Structure 1
């Protein structure tokens, strides 16, 4: 049995709004403040070396979901951000798990893999945030527009990257508050699923159906998997075989390898091209423990497979608590 939820239910939306209000300005806008501190600058340690930035940048452009999540989490509304691009399965310019009220008014500046440098320059940013894997090759062009802060990969290092973003945005104090709140939330979810012992004995898989590609059993280095780890949930042995710690790929005929006590499933792109029906109507699928026990939960791919940052992680925690809580 598959349990399906809307991308952002009313209760979750309320919880998120309350969480964000604790660390955001009333209007959700820039973090700029009319203080002496705002007129100074400081150096941020980035994947490209030290970068000098304004203490409190006022016009921020973000080139990845991690940067957008960080800014929104810290109560900052960027002036520009890249969109997901073709094939993402969504017509929305920004991730649906982020509150629309917080992304309203942000200018889309091209696709994630192909940002429009002219649109970025036209926004007159005083800070650009991205990552080395995607933006390293255009670093010189970006730095010609504004100081550019690039982090490493958006995987298990997402908390470290958040700290870099917070430093660049002049919000290190607020970032520590966010991290502390998340830690308490994770501890509460551990308690809700029966405590540390019960959590460790519960093997959980994340299975992603991808249009035009193999089915992915997500490994321990994906952001969502690190959230499961923070709760203390167990992971099946197959996840240790994930390539680069990211995914172990199988065809529909080998879906039985996803066996676990509980499974969270998501779909990227057209389900008809993602082997969803082929996999979930097979005998192997019916033999999976989570399927037999009705502990398969269909979740939002933009959140569980594409979401990176504390706002995404907080929502995943809430869903884990709702679905696995005892």
Structure 2
């Protein structure tokens, strides 16, 4: 009998010990998860940018983007902003982003954001640009932590800045690494063309003048892909060349011209007049039937890493290269 009691007591004690151990394990798991969550929420990062330094606590969830490239790029991190500025065309939001931005608040224009509307959203992060928002940086910073890019069309700067600001540096690195892999693939494939590297002019017609985008979004990407600047503009470190009269058309001269323009009567009139001018007809691209119209939003107005990949898709298709 005593032996049976001893066995029973031992079993009870063992069971209690096991239950206690399990309880401690579960408690540790809960405490560990809580600690991780608290760390993510309370983590503080200091972000250096062109207008100074910005301290960001935790992971921003309510983000306002104040230039097109930031809006485009933030979505590639799987993050939907709560407020964006109106698009330059296809207002209020570019069609290629519309489904991803359904329900977001429009907070004014890129050149003139509405500070009251931004403040009403109570954001925990604002992404701005020096070229557009330097004068209101102080006011933006009073609303929420604000990080600033130097330009509006540098995909490397915008992607890296956003990655730092939202704590996704690894994703930023992956996005840029994937882009660089595509660039390398394109350059390897197009190099088999005996006429490569081509000189390229990216042109835009307005109601009263024309422009050549030597740098900017499209120009910088084309140069990264190994293309040369227009023949008469090489080595001059130019960004945008404004052509005020038809006598300057020769500056467009290149092996290939990629052009875009608004669907506007005055713009079409300008293009017709310029494209019938003898100087235009003497351009290499014109004589060789190498003038092509491209999507202005993708090639000029969007400015983010999604648009960069769409532009590269266009170039793969144009040169009949396998993606």
2: distance between equivalents of 1:143 and 1:257? 43
Deviation at residue 36 of structure 1 after TM alignment: 3.8
Q: Does 1:109 align with 2:120?
A: no
**Alignment partner of 1:178 is 2:181:** no
The CA deviation string for residues 95-151 of structure 1, in whole angstroms up to 9 with x for no partner, is 34x432222222110111111111111111000010122212112211111111112
1:225-264 matches, within 5 Å, as 225-240=219-234, 245-250=238-243, 251-264=245-258
Higher alpha-carbon Rg: 2
Task: Tell me by how many angstroms 1:198 deviates.
Answer: 4.4
Within 2, Cα distance between the matches of 1:50 and 1:38?
20
Select the structure with the greater relative contact order (CA < 8 A; seq sep ≥ 6): 1
Equivalence for 2:292? 297
CA distance in structure 2 between the partners assigned to 1:35 and 1:313 by the alignment: 37
User: 2-side partners of 1:241 and 1:108: how far apart?
Assistant: 41
Distance 1:50 1:203, change over 3 A: same
TM-score (norm 2): 0.80
1:45 matched to which residue of 2? Answer: 48
* Aligned residue number for residue 203 of structure 1: 199
Pick the aligned partner of 2:134 from 104, 129, 136. 136
Shift in Å at residue 211 of structure 1? 3.2
Question: Per-residue displacement from partner, 1:160-207 (whole Å, max 9, x unpaired)?
Answer: 23211221122110011111111111122223323487432x111101
**Partner SS for 1:317:** helix
Q: Is the contact made by 1:83 and 1:110 (CA closer than 8 Å) also made in structure 2?
A: yes
> How far off its partner does 1:287 sit?
2.1
CA distance in 2, matches of 1:323, 1:154: 26
Secondary structure of 1:57's match?
Answer: coil
Are 1:100 and 2:98 matched, yes or no? yes
Contact 1:196 1:232 in 2 (8 A): no
CA distance in 2: counterparts of 1:319 and 1:120, whole angstroms: 36
Match for residue 149 of structure 2 among 148, 151, 170: 151
Q: Deviations along 1:232-274, whole A, 9 cap, x unmatched?
A: 11222333476x7211222334323211111110114735236
Equivalent-residue separation in structure 2 for 1:169 and 1:249 (angstroms): 38
TM-score normalised by L of structure 1: 0.80
Query: What secondary structure sits across from 2:254 in the alignment?
Result: coil
User: Residue 38 of structure 1: CA displacement?
Assistant: 3.8
User: In structure 2, what is the equivalent of residue 219 of structure 1?
Assistant: 214
Question: Deviation of residue 296 (structure 1)?
Answer: 1.3
* 2:275 alignment partner, one of 247, 272, 280: 280
| 2:196 aligned counterpart, secondary structure | helix
> Kindly tell me: are residues 118 and 297 of structure 1, through their superposed partners in 2, closer, same or farther at Cα, counting changes over 3 Å?
same
Query: Structure 2: where are the runs of 5+ without partners?
Result: 1-35
Aligned with 1:237: secondary structure? coil
Residue-pair matches, total? 284
User: Which stretches in structure 1 are left out of the alignment for 5+ residues?
Assistant: 1-32
CA distance in 1, matches of 2:277, 2:76: 41
How far apart, in 2, do the equivalents of 1:190 and 1:322 lie?
A: 14
1:190 aligned counterpart, secondary structure = helix
The alpha-carbon distance between structure 1 residues 294 and 196, as it changes in their structure 2 partners (threshold 3 A), is closer
Larger fraction in helix: 2
